[in-house]
Structure 1
Amino acid sequence: LWLREQGHPVDGFELSELAITQFFDENNLSAERSEVGPYQCHRHEDLRIYQGDFFAAPELGQRYRLVYDRAALIALPGAMRRQYAALMSRLVETGGQVLLVTLEYQPEQQQQPPFSVGEMEVRTLFERDFGVEVLGRGAELDHPR
Protein backbone atom coordinates (compact mmCIF):
# COMPACT_ATOMS: atom_id res chain seq x y z
CA LEU A 1 0.00 0.00 0.00
CA TRP A 2 2.92 2.34 0.53
CA LEU A 3 3.59 2.53 -3.22
CA ARG A 4 -0.06 3.27 -3.86
CA GLU A 5 0.00 6.02 -1.22
CA GLN A 6 2.91 7.56 -3.14
CA GLY A 7 0.66 7.84 -6.20
CA HIS A 8 1.67 4.69 -8.07
CA PRO A 9 -0.85 2.23 -9.48
CA VAL A 10 -0.21 -1.23 -8.02
CA ASP A 11 -0.78 -4.67 -9.53
CA GLY A 12 -0.31 -7.75 -7.37
CA PHE A 13 -0.49 -11.46 -8.06
CA GLU A 14 -1.67 -14.07 -5.58
CA LEU A 15 -2.83 -17.67 -5.85
CA SER A 16 -4.91 -17.71 -2.68
CA GLU A 17 -8.37 -16.15 -2.70
CA LEU A 18 -8.29 -16.27 1.10
CA ALA A 19 -5.07 -14.21 1.22
CA ILE A 20 -6.60 -11.62 -1.12
CA THR A 21 -9.79 -11.39 0.92
CA GLN A 22 -7.79 -11.03 4.14
CA PHE A 23 -5.62 -8.30 2.57
CA PHE A 24 -8.62 -6.19 1.59
CA ASP A 25 -10.37 -6.82 4.93
CA GLU A 26 -7.29 -5.98 7.03
CA ASN A 27 -6.83 -2.73 5.13
CA ASN A 28 -10.53 -1.78 5.20
CA LEU A 29 -10.75 -1.69 1.41
CA SER A 30 -13.66 -2.82 -0.72
CA ALA A 31 -12.88 -4.70 -3.90
CA GLU A 32 -14.72 -5.10 -7.17
CA ARG A 33 -14.22 -8.45 -8.89
CA SER A 34 -14.02 -9.13 -12.59
CA GLU A 35 -12.54 -11.62 -15.02
CA VAL A 36 -9.39 -10.30 -16.70
CA GLY A 37 -7.69 -12.73 -19.04
CA PRO A 38 -6.89 -15.88 -17.08
CA TYR A 39 -7.40 -14.11 -13.74
CA GLN A 40 -10.05 -13.14 -11.26
CA CYS A 41 -9.16 -9.47 -10.68
CA HIS A 42 -9.85 -7.87 -7.30
CA ARG A 43 -9.74 -4.08 -7.73
CA HIS A 44 -9.92 -1.06 -5.46
CA GLU A 45 -9.29 2.16 -7.39
CA ASP A 46 -5.74 1.84 -8.79
CA LEU A 47 -4.90 -1.29 -6.78
CA ARG A 48 -5.45 -4.57 -8.60
CA ILE A 49 -4.71 -8.04 -7.32
CA TYR A 50 -4.88 -10.80 -9.88
CA GLN A 51 -5.80 -14.19 -8.47
CA GLY A 52 -4.20 -17.06 -10.30
CA ASP A 53 -0.98 -18.43 -11.72
CA PHE A 54 1.67 -15.70 -11.92
CA PHE A 55 3.28 -17.46 -14.87
CA ALA A 56 0.21 -16.49 -16.95
CA ALA A 57 0.94 -12.76 -16.39
CA PRO A 58 2.20 -12.11 -19.97
CA GLU A 59 -1.36 -12.77 -21.16
CA LEU A 60 -2.33 -9.42 -19.59
CA GLY A 61 -0.04 -7.58 -22.00
CA GLN A 62 1.38 -5.41 -19.21
CA ARG A 63 4.99 -4.37 -18.70
CA TYR A 64 6.17 -2.90 -15.43
CA ARG A 65 8.70 -0.24 -14.52
CA LEU A 66 9.09 -1.61 -10.99
CA VAL A 67 8.48 -5.06 -9.50
CA TYR A 68 8.65 -5.71 -5.78
CA ASP A 69 9.03 -9.41 -4.96
CA ARG A 70 8.59 -9.91 -1.24
CA ALA A 71 8.20 -13.68 -1.24
CA ALA A 72 7.56 -15.11 -4.71
CA LEU A 73 11.03 -16.31 -5.71
CA ILE A 74 11.71 -17.89 -2.31
CA ALA A 75 8.40 -19.76 -2.52
CA LEU A 76 9.50 -21.55 -5.69
CA PRO A 77 11.47 -24.79 -5.81
CA GLY A 78 14.84 -24.54 -7.53
CA ALA A 79 13.62 -26.00 -10.82
CA MET A 80 11.10 -23.15 -11.28
CA ARG A 81 13.38 -20.22 -10.42
CA ARG A 82 15.00 -19.96 -13.87
CA GLN A 83 11.51 -19.86 -15.41
CA TYR A 84 10.58 -17.10 -12.94
CA ALA A 85 13.68 -15.03 -13.85
CA ALA A 86 12.88 -15.39 -17.56
CA LEU A 87 9.34 -14.21 -16.86
CA MET A 88 10.68 -11.16 -15.01
CA SER A 89 12.75 -10.19 -18.05
CA ARG A 90 9.57 -10.31 -20.16
CA LEU A 91 7.43 -8.35 -17.68
CA VAL A 92 9.86 -5.59 -16.70
CA GLU A 93 10.32 -2.64 -19.06
CA THR A 94 13.77 -1.90 -20.43
CA GLY A 95 15.51 0.06 -17.68
CA GLY A 96 12.99 -1.16 -15.10
CA GLN A 97 13.92 -2.56 -11.72
CA VAL A 98 13.11 -5.55 -9.54
CA LEU A 99 13.36 -5.18 -5.76
CA LEU A 100 13.85 -8.73 -4.57
CA VAL A 101 13.75 -9.96 -0.98
CA THR A 102 15.38 -13.34 -0.37
CA LEU A 103 16.40 -15.54 2.52
CA GLU A 104 19.71 -17.32 2.82
CA TYR A 105 20.33 -20.17 5.22
CA GLN A 106 21.77 -23.67 5.21
CA PRO A 107 19.39 -25.47 2.80
CA GLU A 108 19.37 -28.65 4.87
CA GLN A 109 17.62 -26.69 7.64
CA GLN A 110 14.36 -26.63 5.71
CA GLN A 111 12.92 -28.53 2.76
CA GLN A 112 9.82 -26.38 2.21
CA PRO A 113 9.14 -22.70 1.45
CA PRO A 114 10.48 -20.22 2.10
CA PHE A 115 13.54 -21.63 0.35
CA SER A 116 17.08 -20.36 0.69
CA VAL A 117 18.11 -18.31 -2.35
CA GLY A 118 21.57 -16.82 -1.96
CA GLU A 119 23.31 -13.96 -3.73
CA MET A 120 25.16 -16.20 -6.18
CA GLU A 121 21.92 -17.85 -7.29
CA VAL A 122 20.27 -14.43 -7.69
CA ARG A 123 23.20 -13.31 -9.84
CA THR A 124 23.02 -16.48 -11.93
CA LEU A 125 19.28 -16.03 -12.46
CA PHE A 126 19.12 -12.29 -13.12
CA GLU A 127 22.48 -10.81 -14.18
CA ARG A 128 21.93 -11.53 -17.87
CA ASP A 129 18.96 -9.14 -17.98
CA PHE A 130 19.35 -6.93 -14.90
CA GLY A 131 22.07 -5.25 -12.88
CA VAL A 132 22.23 -6.95 -9.48
CA GLU A 133 23.01 -4.83 -6.44
CA VAL A 134 22.73 -5.96 -2.81
CA LEU A 135 20.94 -3.15 -0.98
CA GLY A 136 21.14 -4.66 2.48
CA ARG A 137 21.51 -7.73 4.61
CA GLY A 138 20.03 -8.61 7.94
CA ALA A 139 20.01 -11.54 10.30
CA GLU A 140 16.79 -13.02 11.59
CA LEU A 141 17.34 -15.77 14.07
CA ASP A 142 13.77 -17.06 13.62
CA HIS A 143 14.23 -17.97 9.97
CA PRO A 144 13.59 -20.25 8.29
CA ARG A 145 10.16 -20.99 9.74
Structure 2
Amino acid sequence: MPRSSTTLGLSDAKRMLDAGEAKAASIGVAYNIAIVDAGGALVAFARQDGALIGSIDLAIGKAITARLFDKRTSDLAKMAQPGAPLFGIEQSNGGKVVIFGGGLPVLIDGEIVGAVGTSAGTVEQDIAVAEAAAAAINEPGIIEERRST
Protein backbone atom coordinates (compact mmCIF):
# COMPACT_ATOMS: atom_id res chain seq x y z
CA MET A 1 0.00 0.00 0.00
CA PRO A 2 1.50 3.38 -0.95
CA ARG A 3 2.49 5.64 1.89
CA SER A 4 0.99 9.09 1.76
CA SER A 5 3.25 12.00 2.48
CA THR A 6 2.83 15.65 3.15
CA THR A 7 5.06 18.35 1.76
CA LEU A 8 5.34 22.10 1.96
CA GLY A 9 3.49 23.94 -0.75
CA LEU A 10 3.94 27.43 -2.11
CA SER A 11 1.39 28.97 0.27
CA ASP A 12 3.26 27.40 3.22
CA ALA A 13 6.56 28.70 1.88
CA LYS A 14 5.20 32.22 1.42
CA ARG A 15 3.91 32.24 5.00
CA MET A 16 7.32 31.03 6.20
CA LEU A 17 9.18 33.65 4.16
CA ASP A 18 6.98 36.40 5.61
CA ALA A 19 7.70 35.24 9.17
CA GLY A 20 11.42 34.86 8.50
CA GLU A 21 11.62 38.29 6.91
CA ALA A 22 9.79 39.84 9.87
CA LYS A 23 12.25 38.23 12.29
CA ALA A 24 15.19 39.43 10.19
CA ALA A 25 13.79 42.95 10.21
CA SER A 26 13.41 42.82 13.99
CA ILE A 27 17.11 42.03 14.39
CA GLY A 28 18.14 44.54 11.73
CA VAL A 29 19.88 42.18 9.30
CA ALA A 30 18.91 41.67 5.65
CA TYR A 31 18.50 37.92 5.04
CA ASN A 32 18.49 35.18 2.45
CA ILE A 33 15.81 32.61 3.24
CA ALA A 34 15.24 29.34 1.39
CA ILE A 35 12.37 26.87 1.73
CA VAL A 36 12.55 23.32 0.32
CA ASP A 37 9.85 20.68 0.13
CA ALA A 38 9.88 17.13 1.49
CA GLY A 39 11.99 16.02 -1.49
CA GLY A 40 14.58 18.75 -0.89
CA ALA A 41 13.58 20.80 -3.95
CA LEU A 42 13.50 24.59 -3.67
CA VAL A 43 9.94 25.89 -3.27
CA ALA A 44 10.64 29.53 -2.49
CA PHE A 45 13.53 31.88 -1.86
CA ALA A 46 13.76 35.47 -0.68
CA ARG A 47 16.76 37.78 -0.71
CA GLN A 48 16.00 40.90 1.24
CA ASP A 49 17.44 44.13 -0.14
CA GLY A 50 21.09 44.32 0.83
CA ALA A 51 21.43 40.70 1.96
CA LEU A 52 24.89 39.25 1.43
CA ILE A 53 25.34 37.78 -2.04
CA GLY A 54 27.63 35.07 -0.67
CA SER A 55 24.84 33.91 1.63
CA ILE A 56 22.44 33.00 -1.19
CA ASP A 57 23.97 29.57 -1.79
CA LEU A 58 24.50 29.08 1.94
CA ALA A 59 20.79 29.57 2.72
CA ILE A 60 19.74 27.17 -0.03
CA GLY A 61 22.44 24.68 0.99
CA LYS A 62 21.38 24.79 4.64
CA ALA A 63 17.77 24.04 3.72
CA ILE A 64 18.74 21.14 1.47
CA THR A 65 21.20 19.80 4.06
CA ALA A 66 18.58 19.91 6.81
CA ARG A 67 16.23 17.88 4.61
CA LEU A 68 18.87 15.44 3.35
CA PHE A 69 19.85 14.50 6.88
CA ASP A 70 16.63 15.43 8.72
CA LYS A 71 18.70 17.33 11.28
CA ARG A 72 19.36 20.90 12.23
CA THR A 73 22.53 22.08 10.53
CA SER A 74 23.76 23.34 13.91
CA ASP A 75 23.55 19.76 15.21
CA LEU A 76 25.42 18.46 12.17
CA ALA A 77 28.14 21.07 12.79
CA LYS A 78 28.74 19.63 16.26
CA MET A 79 28.82 16.07 14.92
CA ALA A 80 31.23 17.04 12.12
CA GLN A 81 34.07 18.28 14.32
CA PRO A 82 37.41 16.41 14.23
CA GLY A 83 37.03 13.18 16.17
CA ALA A 84 33.21 13.36 16.09
CA PRO A 85 31.12 10.66 14.38
CA LEU A 86 30.29 12.68 11.24
CA PHE A 87 33.67 14.31 10.69
CA GLY A 88 33.95 15.12 6.97
CA ILE A 89 30.21 14.96 6.22
CA GLU A 90 30.40 18.36 4.51
CA GLN A 91 32.36 16.67 1.72
CA SER A 92 29.45 14.32 0.93
CA ASN A 93 26.77 14.94 -1.67
CA GLY A 94 29.15 16.60 -4.09
CA GLY A 95 30.46 18.96 -1.40
CA LYS A 96 27.12 20.76 -1.23
CA VAL A 97 26.43 19.99 2.42
CA VAL A 98 26.36 23.14 4.56
CA ILE A 99 26.82 22.59 8.29
CA PHE A 100 26.61 26.12 9.68
CA GLY A 101 23.62 26.74 11.94
CA GLY A 102 20.52 28.14 10.27
CA GLY A 103 19.03 25.10 8.55
CA LEU A 104 16.32 23.00 10.09
CA PRO A 105 13.72 20.43 9.12
CA VAL A 106 10.11 21.59 9.19
CA LEU A 107 7.56 19.30 10.78
CA ILE A 108 3.79 19.14 10.75
CA ASP A 109 2.17 16.64 13.10
CA GLY A 110 5.59 15.09 13.70
CA GLU A 111 6.24 14.46 9.98
CA ILE A 112 9.07 16.20 8.14
CA VAL A 113 7.48 18.13 5.29
CA GLY A 114 10.46 20.19 4.15
CA ALA A 115 13.15 22.45 5.54
CA VAL A 116 14.23 26.06 5.86
CA GLY A 117 17.68 27.58 5.51
CA THR A 118 18.74 31.11 6.38
CA SER A 119 21.98 33.01 6.06
CA ALA A 120 23.39 36.52 6.53
CA GLY A 121 23.85 37.10 10.25
CA THR A 122 25.59 35.32 13.08
CA VAL A 123 24.89 31.62 13.56
CA GLU A 124 22.56 32.49 16.45
CA GLN A 125 20.68 35.01 14.30
CA ASP A 126 20.46 32.53 11.41
CA ILE A 127 18.93 29.96 13.78
CA ALA A 128 16.45 32.50 15.15
CA VAL A 129 15.27 33.52 11.66
CA ALA A 130 14.94 29.87 10.59
CA GLU A 131 12.97 29.02 13.75
CA ALA A 132 10.62 31.96 13.17
CA ALA A 133 10.02 30.82 9.59
CA ALA A 134 9.34 27.22 10.64
CA ALA A 135 6.98 28.28 13.42
CA ALA A 136 4.78 30.13 10.92
CA ILE A 137 3.15 26.97 9.63
CA ASN A 138 2.53 25.57 13.10
CA GLU A 139 0.55 28.55 14.38
CA PRO A 140 -2.96 27.89 15.71
CA GLY A 141 -5.40 27.75 12.83
CA ILE A 142 -2.81 27.00 10.16
CA ILE A 143 -2.64 23.27 10.90
CA GLU A 144 -6.43 23.05 10.97
CA GLU A 145 -6.54 24.91 7.65
CA ARG A 146 -4.10 22.38 6.13
CA ARG A 147 -6.11 19.43 7.43
CA SER A 148 -9.33 20.71 5.87
CA THR A 149 -7.83 20.99 2.38
TM superposition score category, shorter chain reference: under 0.3
The higher radius of gyration belongs to: 1
Larger helix share, 1 or 2: 2
- Identify which of structures 1 and 2 has the higher relative contact order when contacts are C-alpha pairs closer than 8 Å and 6+ apart: 2
Q: TM-score, normalised by structure 1?
A: 0.25
